[in-house]
């Protein structure tokens, strides 16, 4: 199985989910062009995320990625 088959996309392109840099319009364009569009949600409020997802769903039936931060912030060490 290749990347396109796994993700259900035409082209082996995954758009970088650039938190704070764009909304659903770029994700829609990439998905409609055959790649995997990505919606960066880590910096969005719940209301903003719902709005962006509604826009995305209304403009494409193609697969897309919804991206969140999942790392724990580092704890500073004062011992050094």
pLDDT at 19 exceeding the cut of 80: yes
- pTM comes to 0.83
pLDDT at 80 exceeding the cut of 70: no
CA gap 19, 43 in Å, rounded: 6
Q: Are 3 and 12 in contact (CB under 8 A)?
A: yes
Break the chain into its structural domains and give their ranges: 8-64
| Per-residue pLDDT at 13 | 95
pLDDT at 74 exceeding the cut of 90: no
Terminal Cα-to-Cα distance of the chain (whole angstroms): 49
């Amino acid at each position: 199985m290749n990347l396109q088959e796994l993700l259900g996309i035409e082209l082996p392109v995954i758009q970088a989910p650039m938190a704070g840099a764009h909304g659903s319009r770029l994700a829609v364009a990439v998905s409609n062009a055959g790649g995997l569009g990505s919606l960066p949600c880590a910096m969005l409020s719940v209301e903003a995320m719902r709005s962006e997802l509604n826009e995305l769903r209304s403009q494409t039936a193609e697969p897309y990625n919804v991206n969140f931060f999942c790392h724990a912030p580092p704890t500073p060490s004062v011992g050094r």
